[in-house]
Structure 1
Amino acid sequence: MMVFFWQCVLFLSLASALLVHADMKLDCRPDTVTLVWTENRSQADTSLFRLGNCFPTSFSPRRAVFSVDVNNCNFKRLVTGSHLLYTNDLTYISSPDSNILPSTHLVVCEYESCCTVICFILCRPKDWYPMMYYPVFNTYGEGDLEFHIGLMNADFSGPATSTSFPLGSLIPIMASVVQKSHQPLLLLLEECIATSTPELHPKSSIYPIITNKGCLVDSKISRSKFEPRQTSSEIHLSLQALRFAHGEEVFIHCSLVAWDPVGLTNTRKACYYVKDHGWKLLDNSTYSNLCDCCESSCTSRRVRSIRSEKHGIVQKAVLGPLTITMNS
């Protein structure tokens, strides 16, 4: 049966993606794709390659490896007759001061049916119509983008089973953006504050969590931190439960920003403080100097609309209520 199956699969790799300075190898399986990009330019940072919105599964100084499910990473599916195509973009996110320009290469996996409907069923990847599940409390729309924010369990694998957290424990928070027709976007938390009210008022008592365009200021006095990204369209925050509004309902008000992945600046970033090491940039620690302004004021050098679809979209969101309890 397996021999018959693999006779039904046709793998394509566009010749235009094989450049003189690199080599791309692609392995299309029934439900997974493995891509190995070997880079010949010594100054290239292989950690900056993205397959759709997925980060490399592993990387070395000269190689980036992706081993992913075809239902993830923003693969696009197209059915043409007896052919099923999965397409995506392999992009290189160049840093602002790099001599290497950003680049994009098309990735294509084609599954071809045999002469019968039975063979087509065997050839297509499983989860033909994948179920979409978002473990969230709140959903917000902005054009054809959907923003989500919610409380998660300890390993971020599912929604939290309780909204009560002992003082000093870590509160797992996940925010995400669902991208429909957009190019892959990077989700950032521009600002988050805690209050005891679901709406902000001039007299509301607030506790700053993230300020100054993406600086997790709470991490300077607590164990709060950004967790490593799984995909660019999600951001995971471990927030240490604070004394603010003890015993009362707590609401966390955030500004979510969906941003061009190649446009990280000192006003579009995710920074957290590491004891004895200073401020660290979540997405590329090599450029943690973008976080230097967290100790002063992070301002843009050029005035531009933050709601410009070309540069990013901002969405307000409220998480809660949740309760901080004393340790038993």
Structure 2
Amino acid sequence: MTPSSTPVASATAPNLDDEFKTRPTNVQRTRNVLHRYPVISPALVLICAVIIFGLINDRFYTPQNLSLIAQQVAVVGSLAVGQTLIILTAGIDLSVGAVMVMSALVTGQTAVNHGVNPVVALISGFLVGMGAGLLNGIFVTRLKLPPFIVTLGTLNIFLALSLLYSGGSAVRGSDMPALLTWTGVGLSLGPFRITTGVILMILIYVVIGYALAKTAWGRHVYAVGDDLDAARLSGISVNRVLLSVYVVAGFVMALAAWIQIGRTNAASPNVAGDLNLDSITAVVIGGTSLFGGRGMIWGTLLGALIVGVFRNGLSLAGFDALYQTLAVGVLIIVAVALDQWIRKGRK
């Protein structure tokens, strides 16, 4: 060995300490996977919940009960689609339930009390939902108000307008035209029985999922939520995107109102008690970040199913409705903590 061979060998030899330091740990790998595939977490939670509640009560697995869960999820799941769009832009909508109630009441009251053609009444409900979304969007984009404050205010405004318009009374039963209750028509799939409202909810997910994944509008929504200033500098019309998101969300809430009318066979001002909380829970559990820019619409569907499974499973287990609400609140905190953990790892 020549004297010069030693330094050459030491210069080219790999530094094992540095390689060990840069190698990702199992925790980091887990964070990376959960960041890339946000639906993994809600899928695991849903599977565990179904297994646990099935072990607690055998009736949980019956086709009748599973069909009931699907029907219960239809309204919350539809509202959660609109909530997802807004949260993807780093906003939040506390008025989703109020918009749904207002759209349902306008649709029902217009058709029954004013004798308007059911098609026109249904369209008027859609216009009310889109108008409410447009109003929220104008406050956010033009007046630069925080979405939380805006929707907290319009929550009370829309509920008050609904009560004033309807006089606090509901439209029920045989007075409702068949078109308005069509979403409550049952369909048999083997031993399972679902409603057309469930199918409509799934169609909403398919359409919005395609729009987010395959269109320029969807890419702009993610870009605005991820970094608003960077999106503006890249040439995206940020205000236009935000305004469109709130209008589309309002339309989806009006569809949820139609599903609600079919499910309860009524348009009532007293149906939105837990819907705001449940819709936010479904979105957050589904892997959509409250800070915007990350999430998948199908994760929201899993989140809505988790909410439905928890409420139904706890009810079958004999727990009071207050414990169901408690469980939903715990799910929100756990989901947000998990999201923070994932984001911290990526940073």
TM-score, reference length from structure 2: 0.27
Which protein is richer in strand relative to its size? 1
Q: Which structure ranks higher in relative contact order (CA pairs < 8 Å, sequence separation ≥ 6)?
A: 2
Answer with 1 or 2: which has the greater Rg: 2
TM-score, reference length from structure 1: 0.28
Which protein is richer in helix relative to its size? 2
